[in-house]
Amino acid sequence: MESFLTSAGYAALILFGFLEAACIPISSEITFGFAGVLAYQGHLNLALVIIIGSLAELAGSYASYWVGRAGGKPLVHKLGRYVLVTESDVDRAERFLAGRGAWAIPVGRMLPFIRAFISIIAGLVRVPAIRFGILSLIGTVIYATVMSLIGYGLGSAWHQVSHGLTVLGYVLAALVVIAIAAFIAYRWRRFRRESPSGGRHAAEKSSDAKVR
């Protein structure tokens, strides 16, 4: 990523920003952090890094948003069993994003991991497109500014610090894997209870108990 950013400059920034916001697993920290380093070295302009990177991410966010919006609840009904998501989950997300809850969009766009998927959720619960764009852009600009300024501030010390961040990333990744495993187990039990087949099974067991 750093080599491509060095050689392609703004074109690489646009590509990485769009793909990451479209839920492709690319490190936005490296994208904006190293772009900030290149700005410090005089290869890029810091203001343009923030502006161009934010617009590229906004485009990627809209791509994810329309995937969620086009699929809607039928997509959850059809594919939810494979990702342990029920229609009641969508209903809860919709209630959460209603009113002030929509500010979860800019907050989500500033958080690692979550920022890549908040756009799909916003589309899934049908947040108005213009409102989504404004809120997403707010969070994206803040995130891009902070990451770019960190890279710019580190300057030549970026490689030493990024190595430490890589080690820390492995530790965090291990913790995330454990957390995901626990979450999937919890979601599986809940999905079984909320799914129609699970409900029928529970009703049959209750009926058998009453007969006995």
- pLDDT tens by residue, 62-100: 988 888 888 766 765 665 555 555 666 556 656 666 655
The pLDDT value given to residue 211: 46
**Helix or strand holding residue 28 (H, E):** helix 28-40
The pLDDT value given to residue 141: 93
What is the mean pLDDT of the segment spanning 178-187?
68
* ∠ Cα 156 57 75 (to 5°): 140
The pLDDT value given to residue 3: 78
Mean pLDDT score of the chain: 74
pLDDT band at 197 (very low <50, low <70, confident <90, very high): low
The pLDDT value given to residue 209: 47
For residue range 124-169, what is the model confidence (pLDDT) as tens digits? Answer: 878 888 988 998 999 999 989 988 998 888 776 665 555 555 555 5
